Amino acid sequence: MALGSASVFAQTQPAPAQTVPQDEITVTATKDQERAIDALASVNVVNRTEIRQLQAQRIGSILNQLPNVETNENQRDPATAINIRGLQDFGRVAVTVDGARQNFQTSGHNANGVFYLDPAFLKSIDITRGPVANVYGSGAIGGVVSFETVDPRDILLPGERFATELGATGVFGRQSGLYASALAALRANEILETMAGVSYKRLGDYKDGDGNSVRDTGQDLRSAIGKIVINPGNGHQLKLSGQYQKYDFAAFGTGDSSSIRRQTELTTTTATAKYTFSQPDNPWVNLSANAYITSTDERQFRLTGTAATLFQPRSFTITTSGFDINNTSRFQFGEALLSVTYGGDYFQDKVTTKDNAGSADKFTPSGMRTVYGGFVQGHLKWRMIDVIAAGRYDGYELSGNGNSSDGSRFSPKITVGVTPITGIQFYGTYAEGYRAPSTTETLISGTHPAPADFVFIPNPNLRPEIGHTLEGGVNVKYDDLFMAGDKLRAKATVFRNDVDDYIDGVQSFGPLCGAPIPNACKGSFYTYMNKSNARITGAEGEVAYDARRWFFSLAGAVTRGDADDATTGKRAPLSSIYPSKIVVGGGVRFFDEKLLLGARVSFVGAQNRVPTGFTPSKEFQLVDLYGSYQFTPDTRAFFQVDNLGDVRYKRYRDTEYSPGIVAKVGFSTRFGS
């Protein structure tokens, strides 16, 4: 909601400027389509208009505006790691692109679980917080973030046979660069539609708010997308899609200039095939089946060191293949409507690491993990009452380096909602989630490079994590409240998440470990262990009011988290808990709403509750400006100014200061016939 007029309702393109904002649709919370404002869960949907307005250098610039959603980034690497309600890494937040799991991970001094994605082709981002989305897939005890890319019908208007969409953005200020993209769609007939697109991005190194250059923060990106949509009639649809990305960048291994510097060439490929079937007169069948394969291949060449070590190669490849299938059947019993959704999913991660001259293959060990599950969920609507009951069965198998593990569990969910007054809905939820250990957590082994030559110890006896979440919330929805055409939307949630057998890295280092003296790290080790319990509590809320001529939004979140320390036996803060924040936004529209001017102010608090070895962060405030002018329904110009005050700030857990003031100016246009 802090992105503009509101995440719960916003305009989509192409559309006339006077179109009334519509409530966005979410599917991640229950696998059944519903309005985000009506979902009995803490959800956000960011649509294409908002994504294109931001013209973000990184995905994190979009997500960090949302309450209790953060990204952990190495500014020298374009990868993104998502944190929801203080949970991240190793699949605790499930990330999908067109339904395809994104499970890439390399071990180091950065996030353990990242993905690479070009925002140029994004149509929407659907975020659900907490394990209330346990029907969505295994492991998502923190939540789900589902990215959807554009379809041919996002480019083609009704009746058109061919259309193209072009866009370009110039970047100025503390960072300079250029984005450009082109999409073309063809409707051969009523059965066949196709689409293809290309994108290019080049960014130079940026400077922080004090004008200090941050080396190796630029990147080159080339990406492409293609889709074929077949509509044979009678409610059937088959969608085939593929996406390719290639990144080139240089980075230091730990994110700072004191470590080894490497040139990186990274490619990602994603292919999906999705079949859906539904008919308005057949309430028993609303079928969706999706199969996918996604691969991330990172190849690095050493740029610093001795003559013998220069240009030494290493590579990390993670391929994830899987499928999911579900169906919703609806039954009417007088005034009561029962929706039953059931299905299953499966994916397999294959990790291949090569480092003949180093030890990366020990820290990100090769191996294979298979995860599968099935679920059933019933949603009963009767007058002012909603009841959702669900159960999910999960299982996994893992092997590598001569070790193996497996496990399974049933996880329940129950939600009760009541609407005592039209427009106000209260709900309460208890939900459980199950996350299997990753290959790295289980199999990591070897010796850290000198001088910190401590030992990594594998732990094949790791137990899966089990999340128990209590959540209470309220949804507020009113139209024509103070004047004709206005809209008020609000969501607020409080929660407590207890994670049994929480997996975390445990280190036992002597006082001299890392010193350049013989045997300084003797007896020191690092391993992953189960902590008996982690507890995370917090609240998030957002409200948006749109009176057409003007709009306003307010969003905020606060979270606290602690876990048992395996070495001291005492409670200690979790390192993954981000500071509190409030984001205030507002703006005006003129000239029949063709001209939009807006501003956003972010207040981010300090984070001083950190465990030993982590650096606290300071509070900061940011002001952003944005605007656009819709010349025609198909052509618009826009600007975005990030960090107007040129503030020098560093986000919690980031390795470097973020960019100072950056301005982006661009246009987009569409031609159809």
Position 12 scores a pLDDT of 35
Q: How far apart are CA 296 and CA 97, in angstroms?
A: 13
Q: Is the pLDDT of residue 658 over 70?
A: yes
Position 359 scores a pLDDT of 64
Cis omega (within 30 of 0) for bond into 158:
no
The least confident of 21-35, 196-210, 334-348, 463-477 is: 21-35
pLDDT class of 647 with cuts at 50, 70, 90: very high
Quick: pLDDT tens for 515-558. 778 878 877 888 888 887 899 999 999 999 999 999 999 999 99
Q: How far apart are CA 432 and CA 666, in angstroms?
A: 45
Position 134 scores a pLDDT of 64
Position 255 scores a pLDDT of 47
Position 124 scores a pLDDT of 93
DSSP letters, 574-602, are -TTPPPPEEEEEEEEEETTTTEEEEEEEE
DSSP letters, 119-142, are GGGEEEEEEEESGGGTTT-TT-SS
Q: Is the pLDDT of residue 250 over 50?
A: yes
Quick: pLDDT tens for 116-134. 999 999 999 999 998 876 6
Quick: pLDDT tens for 293-334. 999 999 988 888 778 778 888 888 999 999 999 999 999 999
**Mean pLDDT over all residues of the chain?**
88
Position 11 scores a pLDDT of 36
Q: What is the CA radius of gyration of the chain?
A: 25
Q: Please, what are the domains in the chain? A: 9-672 (2.40.170.20)
> Residues 6 or more apart from 307 whose CB is under 8 A from it?
none
Q: How far apart are CA 216 and CA 176, in angstroms?
A: 13
pLDDT class of 42 with cuts at 50, 70, 90: very high
More reliable by pLDDT, 433 or 363: 433
Q: Is the pLDDT of residue 256 over 60?
A: no
Quick: pLDDT tens for 183-203. 999 999 999 999 999 999 999
Position 552 scores a pLDDT of 96
pLDDT class of 273 with cuts at 50, 70, 90: very high
> Residues 6 or more apart from 424 whose CB is under 8 A from it?
474, 475, 476
Per cent of the chain over pLDDT 90 is 62
Position 313 scores a pLDDT of 87
Q: Is the pLDDT of residue 284 over 90?
A: yes
Position 362 scores a pLDDT of 58
Quick: pLDDT tens for 366-402. 888 899 999 999 999 999 999 999 999 999 998 887 7
H/E stretch holding 326 reads: strand 313-333
Q: Is the pLDDT of residue 403 over 90?
A: no
Position 2 scores a pLDDT of 39
Position 31 scores a pLDDT of 75
Q: Is the pLDDT of residue 361 over 70?
A: no
Q: Is the pLDDT of residue 445 over 90?
A: no
Position 144 scores a pLDDT of 92
Closest by alpha carbon to 143, among 1, 59, 45, 29?
29
Q: Is the pLDDT of residue 452 over 80?
A: no
pLDDT class of 253 with cuts at 50, 70, 90: low
Cis omega (within 30 of 0) for bond into 131:
no
Position 34 scores a pLDDT of 83
Position 10 scores a pLDDT of 39
| 158-187 mean pLDDT | 95
Q: What are phi and psi of 51, to 5 degrees?
A: -60, -45
The least confident of 70-84, 143-157, 328-342 is: 70-84
Is residue 370 within 8 A of residue 164, CB to CB? The reply is no
DSSP letters, 222-273, are EEEEEEEEEEEETTEEEEEEEEEEEEEEEEETTSSTTS-EEEEEEEEEEEEE
Q: Is the pLDDT of residue 285 over 50?
A: yes
Position 628 scores a pLDDT of 95
Position 331 scores a pLDDT of 94
pLDDT class of 32 with cuts at 50, 70, 90: confident
Position 523 scores a pLDDT of 79
> Residues 6 or more apart from 244 whose CB is under 8 A from it?
223, 224, 225, 267, 268, 269
